[in-house]
Structure 1
Amino acid sequence: MLWPLSTRHKRLFRLTSARWQRRAIFLLGGIGVGATAVALAQLADLAQHAFALLLAKSRYAVLAVTPLGFVLSAYLTIRLFPNAQGSGIPQAIAARHLTDQSARESLVSIRIAIGKTILTLLGLLCGGSVGREGPTVQVGASIMFALGRVSPRRQPGLILAGAAAGVAAAFNTPLAGIVFGIEEMSRAFETRTSSLIIAAVIAAGLTSLALAGNYAYFGSSAMSLARGTDWLAVPLCGVAGGLAGGLFSRIVIAMARGFKNPLGYAIKDHPLWFAFACGIAVAICGLVSGDTIYGTGYVQVKTALEHSSPLPPDFGVLKLLATTFAAISGIPGGIFSPSLAVGAGIGSNIASFFHDAPLGAIMLLGMVSYFAGVVQAPITAFVIVTEMTDNHGMVVPLMAAALIAHATSRMICEEGIYHALAKGFVERATRPHGAKAPHASN
């Protein structure tokens, strides 16, 4: 004979069921984000390989392919996938701060995730200096948002978990994913959701391991700063990377906010022509560089680190210019990998002043410095570079360089690029329906 459940037992059953349902959503979402990250990584490699085949046929074809590709990407973004432009991380941050469901859905949704994936691949296919990691964050947040529609009050935590899992799976850096979620996405440690976020990161990481295997993004290295004079490279890289990263962020933020002058009005009124001009600029940078600055920059940096060979002297500057033009053009694409490539170029140039120092170690200092200067998240910067190179002997100098770069960057740009851009998305999402935006470029 079955005894009827008491009111207390019914309440306990409902609480337990809701708790396990919440855990299942985080775990299933993590698996989905991990699988999507691996698929996007493989498709991105294919897109860059296809572009390399085009270069092998005619390197001057970029003068037509790259600007036309930028125009097509910008057109599709405006017409079909609004709010898919740029990195995608500002959209995820903004979605966490919004409370209206429809406003959130305009920034993170399955529709946005599909558009982001397609248009990021298009950007790489036409030679844009963009990365796939930022888009993976927006896609991850979109997947979690879709799974969490049954519980709207849990969606800020789900979006945070999706973003953290996206970083972890994109780079195979689980610690960096967790730190990114705390330092950059939420700017706080949330005790109530911390264990569930870690579970999502673990699920995404295990899925990535199962599909792509265990690997260090830039390969394993044991290089370190040996002599006392080698440590002078730490403040040099920190200051140079912080200045360059702060300048990049300031330009991108200023372009996003727009200019109240004829040039700013022209950019807003003719976004496709502006995308075309940015594509031409990227193509010229590519031709001047000898075809080294297209795409993510991953192959060039990994080759230089593995063989301890310097990058071309103009690589850092030209990669910085190409990434800037891609970032302000309005096409979807991230800045994670291109920023690390720019930093590697800066480090390679600084290493020329230290003839007996290990080249790879100073390149790592340049990478962490420029990245910390751009995002102004020093802990995420040194953790992600450490995990990507599996080099724990460089932890202390990487930490020091990241902190110096962060302080230097803030003298040029008061706020990190992601949070500054997120404010614009929040303002547009909360603007009363039908209200006109100020006549300035978005």
Structure 2
Amino acid sequence: MPRSSFSPPHLRALLRRHVPEALVWRRRIAFLGGAVLTGLVALLFARLADEASEMFLALTGRWPLAPLLITPLGFAAIVWLTRKLAPAASGSGIPQVMAASRDPDDGLSRLVSARIAIVKFIMTVAALLFGASVGREGPTVQISASIMGYAHRLMAVPLRASVYIAGGAAGVAAAFNTPLAGVAFAIEELAAAYEQRMALLVMAAVLIAGMVSLGLAGDYVYFGVMGQTLNVHQALSAAPVAGVIGGLTGGSFSRLMLSAGRVPTAPMRWLRSHSVLFATGCGFVVAFLGVATGLTWGTGYQTAHAVIAGSDVPMWFGAAKFIATLATAISGIPGGIFAPSLSVGAGIGDVLRSIFPTYPSGAVILLGMVAYFTGVVRAPLTAVIIISETTASRGLMMPLLATALIADFAAQLVSKERLYHGLSQRFETGVERKIDG
């Protein structure tokens, strides 16, 4: 006679698996609780970052030349404090999360600790307060990975690569209010050690963080709704041109970023060994460009938004923002390159708009944005979904994807090594250098 499926041994096995004390439930609680906290912290971070940018712009409006003094000094102070308090908080934070995912237990203490996350939070806001050309999306990834790591530690759940992948992707979703982009980013960029069986919890964490952001901040579109489309002929003409120009330019940024920490010449070695002085010089470059143009400060969000909406910017805007972002990124201060890269891409799109004057201008701008962003981060699917979700331009999905794929190929001609993967290598060995993206 077959043994009953409800025999005492079977019931005990079911209880061990499904009661709240079981590992599977603790893991679910850690993922979902961490996702909620990630959404809340991301919203607070966004609010403080925006206020810091507004305070700086108010200062420049009253004293236009003040940044020539306060921006270099601010860069120097931020780098000095970061190196003293938490060297792994420098740069964007995405390379640190990628490195932490390869050794989760060591990564929590060395690359995404609470101390590092707090320093990252404060210093990124400070960077915007001094006019640095940085974004908050990369730092949100590192902070969110830290939150997810500690949520698992609190629930006594073993750390895995998927913990940091989920946290980082949830950070992208909450920062841009783009859940689908968070999922794509998890699979395409962070997941060198992706655990397929954890996919459901990872996506749940991403969606919950996005829902928290959506619920508290409202149903907003990051760059505003852009409803223009391109017909087949226009797409076949514009996508290759945008892909090649944006990909080569973005690849050049990536190569310069990677080379800045590796060039063996004596002057560069001397500069790298005098990090505060180097940061001061980078701050002066950012200040000079900002004072001269009035357009290169901060994330570049407002300028990109205005260009998408149809406003004109000078032809040199993209180049000026490129230099300001590069100087900020290699200085070693905490801050990301997502938002500034989208702003540079808008500048490239404005140049493309003069090449295709009869085409829908907003659509051409988005092609430039997705091309340059892809060239920098080499994640075409993430780039397409971010642009599509932040502008509600789903009618452009195919032209955007074609542009991104061409840009990815073009970028490889300039820089074969992907930016974040190259930067993450210096954290895998435990050597946190000054220059990081």
- How far 1:7 moved relative to its partner? 4.3
Report the CA distance shift for 1:38/1:441 in structure 2 as closer, same or farther (over 3 A): closer
- Letter aligned with residue 35 of structure 1: L
Matched, 1:141 2:139: no
In the other structure, the counterpart of 1:434 is: none
Unmatched 5+ stretches in structure 2: 1-6
- Letter aligned with residue 331 of structure 1: I
| Cα distance in 2, alignment partners of residues 95 and 362 from structure 1 | 38
| Cα distance in 1, alignment partners of residues 203 and 80 from structure 2 | 38
- Letter aligned with residue 372 of structure 1: T
Q: Which of 282, 295, 299 is the equivalent residue of 2:298?
A: 295
Matched, 1:52 2:57: yes
Contact 1:230 1:357 in 2 (8 A): no
In the other structure, the counterpart of 2:264 is: 260
Contact 1:230 1:354 in 2 (8 A): no
> Which TM-score applies when normalising by structure 1?
0.93
**1:157-216 deviation per Cα after TM superposition (whole angstroms, max 9, x unaligned):** 111100010000000100000000000000476321111011111210111012101111
In the other structure, the counterpart of 2:311 is: 309
RMSD: 1.8
| Cα distance in 2, alignment partners of residues 231 and 188 from structure 1 | 36
- How far 1:106 moved relative to its partner? 1.1
Matched, 1:112 2:151: no
- How far 1:235 moved relative to its partner? 1.0
In the other structure, the counterpart of 1:331 is: 333
**1:3-25 deviation per Cα after TM superposition (whole angstroms, max 9, x unaligned):** xx944433332222321211111
Q: Which of 39, 56, 67 is the equivalent residue of 1:62?
A: 67
| Cα distance in 2, alignment partners of residues 376 and 151 from structure 1 | 36
- How far 1:73 moved relative to its partner? 0.7
Matched, 1:86 2:67: no
Matched, 1:284 2:288: yes
| Cα distance in 1, alignment partners of residues 34 and 68 from structure 2 | 41
| SS state at 1:59 partner | coil
**1:287-326 deviation per Cα after TM superposition (whole angstroms, max 9, x unaligned):** 222x1110000011112222x1222211100000000000
- How far 1:441 moved relative to its partner? 7.2
In the other structure, the counterpart of 2:398 is: 396
Q: Which of 34, 38, 50 is the equivalent residue of 1:33?
A: 38
Matched, 1:271 2:275: yes
| SS state at 2:271 partner | helix
Contact 1:144 1:162 in 2 (8 A): yes
**1:199-239 deviation per Cα after TM superposition (whole angstroms, max 9, x unaligned):** 11121011101210111111111111137246422111101
| SS state at 2:430 partner | helix
- How far 1:82 moved relative to its partner? 1.3
Matched, 1:385 2:373: no
Unmatched 5+ stretches in structure 1: 432-436
| SS state at 2:210 partner | helix
In the other structure, the counterpart of 2:128 is: 124
1:160-171 pair list within 5 angstroms = 160-171=165-176
| Cα distance in 2, alignment partners of residues 335 and 441 from structure 1 | 14
In the other structure, the counterpart of 2:226 is: 221
- How far 1:373 moved relative to its partner? 0.3
| Cα distance in 2, alignment partners of residues 84 and 421 from structure 1 | 13
Q: Among the aligned pairs, what percent are the same residue?
A: 44
Contact 1:265 1:441 in 2 (8 A): no
Matched, 1:351 2:353: yes
In the other structure, the counterpart of 1:412 is: 414
- How far 1:103 moved relative to its partner? 4.3
- Letter aligned with residue 322 of structure 1: A
Contact 2:307 2:365 in 1 (8 A): no
| Cα distance in 1, alignment partners of residues 368 and 69 from structure 2 | 33
| Cα distance in 1, alignment partners of residues 417 and 218 from structure 2 | 37
- Letter aligned with residue 308 of structure 2: L
| Cα distance in 2, alignment partners of residues 351 and 283 from structure 1 | 28
- Letter aligned with residue 176 of structure 2: F
Q: How many correspondences in the alignment?
A: 426
**1:247-266 deviation per Cα after TM superposition (whole angstroms, max 9, x unaligned):** 1111111113x332311221
